[in-house]
Amino acid sequence: MDKRSFLKNAGLMGLAAPLSFAHLKRAVAAAEHLAPADLAGDEDFWLKVRGDYDIKPDYINLENGYYCFMPRQTMDHLVEHMRNINYQGSYYMRTVQFENKNRVAEKVAEIVGCITQEVAITRNTTESLDLIIGGLDWQAGDEAVMAEQDYGAMLNHFKLIERRFGTVNRLVSVPNHPSNDQEIVDLYAAAITDKTRLLMVCHMVNITGQVLPVRKIVDMAHARGVEVMVDGAHAFSHITFQMQDLDCDYYGTSLHKWLSAPLGSGMLYVKKEKIDSVWPLFAERDLEPNDIRRLNHIGTHPVHTDLAILNAIEYQNTIGLDRKAARLQYLQHYWTSKLRDQPGIIINTPVELSRHGGIGNVGVEGIAPGGLADALMNDYGIFTAAIDRPGVRGVRVTPNVYTTTAELDALVRAIKQLSV
């Protein structure tokens, strides 16, 4: 093996090191005969998965939407990568750093079925989408369409663009319980004018968990000459999809959310023919205009995080994304079905399976979101996130693959008691 090959493999040594995937592979093999929907309710199987996580016993963690912490295997590999890179020092950084980063982009691209040349590894969804919002060649009078339920950081960047370039932002309000897809499509369509440059839409609304009909919105917008940027912070590695199914122009996500990669890892997708039209926000490397890597040159950063993304992907692939997605949806439906139509309780997430994944939002009449979150934590030991946004007042509940139905039963009991 030559020295360069050794270094490249050394940077990935964690893949064969610390904690084994063997027990997880055995559990999956034993359940291979079950369809994902049937395995979703198999508590024995998911308790084996739970065993891979170091779970803080002080409270029930139902707030995985900010950050999904890593299973022990990924954490061990991350530490091993840190040791390896610290041992190699500048030699690693000056030899195979970017080659390994490209390998990470290749594996991330495989998850959503696009080509590596359309993927850049970033630090989070906000950075990914900021690269597009700030990188377009805005002119005074250009318009952008978005929803008031979109993530606050993205709305703030559009406000900055509005002040800086004289653009116009047009906001829609997404209903929590649409009657059909067309209602949502028509909502966005009504906001488009002949000056609209970009439409931003959430794949999964972060405050409610509602999955929006992205492809139908994209088709409508493209027919009117409008580009579409998708906020996929909560959809990637949460629900199954391929980029070709969406046909959007830009897509950003955080890998430290539902992929359970280390903090500070994200992904930007740009359709190949659109890359050249985006201005880099940072001083770019000496690359061709249509090379997506010129958009995310942030200088020296924790490259061990990049390597651990590969381990997170290996963990997810061992379980199977289809099994994982089915389990997350099962958990959401498990607790919301026990609270829907209960007096004084408001479920802010659609009931249809096609419109939600694992995230749900619940409110209690007469209790402010912050008060509800505090009561759940202080009186019942259940950690959630308070949401007080237009049309959405409640707490966001985000279980993960390690969450048990017993923990969700505790949530249901608490909400029922608080609603009396």
| Secondary structure (DSSP) of 341-357 | T-TTEEE-S-SSGGGBS
**Structure pTM?**
0.94
Find where tokens 């964690």 sit.
14
Asked whether the beta carbons of 271 and 231 are under 8 A apart, the reply is: no
Confidence of residue 296 (pLDDT cuts 50, 70, 90): confident
Q: Which residues does residue 144 pair with via DSSP β-bridges, in sequence order?
A: 169, 198
pLDDT more than 70, % of the chain: 95
CB atoms closer than 10 angstroms to residue 258? 31
Number of H helices, E strands in the chain: 16, 13
Do the strands 345-347 and 360-364 form a parallel or antiparallel pair, or are they unpaired? antiparallel
pLDDT at residue 35, rounded to an integer: 98
Q: Is the pLDDT of residue 1 over 70?
A: no
For residue 183, is pLDDT > 90? yes
Mean predicted lDDT score pLDDT of the chain: 94
Is there a contact between 81 and 238 (Cβ–Cβ < 8 Å)? no
State mean pLDDT over 273-296: 87
| Predicted confidence (pLDDT) at residue 7 exceeds the cutoff of 80 | no
Which listed CATH number (3.40.50.1970, 3.40.228.10, 3.40.640.10, 3.30.470.20) goes with 95-312? 3.40.640.10
* CB 245, CB 215: distance < 8 Å: yes
Q: Is the pLDDT of residue 135 over 90?
A: yes
> Is residue 15 predicted with pLDDT exceeding 50?
no
Q: Domain residues of the chain, as ranges?
A: 95-312, 323-419
Residue 354 has pLDDT above 90, yes or no: yes
Pick the CATH number of 323-419 from 3.90.1150.10, 3.40.50.300, 3.30.420.10, 3.20.140.10: 3.90.1150.10
